[in-house]
């Protein structure tokens, strides 16, 4: 068992990606968002940049707020 990854919701996946890259983080998949389990764009940040934890950033679903 154990934790596979943690996910944070963000307003804009592109802005979040650009912020992570500007801070020196490695965004997986070449930084190209893909569609995640909830039909929203997602990216993953490499665990080496996040204290050993795989971090997923998920764009807020349309109409969620």
In the annotation, is 59 catalytic?
A: no
Instruction: Write down the catalytic residue from 9, 11, 14, 56.
Output: 56
Q: Which residues contact 24 (CB under 8 A, 6 or more apart)?
A: 49
State the greatest distance between any 2 C-alpha atoms of the chain, in Å, as a whole number: 34
Active-site residue list: 56
């Amino acid at each position: 068992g154990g934790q596979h990854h943690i996910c944070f919701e963000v307003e804009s996946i592109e802005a979040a990606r650009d912020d992570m890259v500007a801070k020196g983080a490695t965004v997986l998949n070449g930084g190209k968002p893909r569609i995640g389990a909830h039909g929203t764009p997602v990216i993953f940040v490499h665990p080496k940049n996040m204290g050993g934890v795989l971090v997923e950033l998920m764009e807020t679903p349309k109409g969620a707020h």
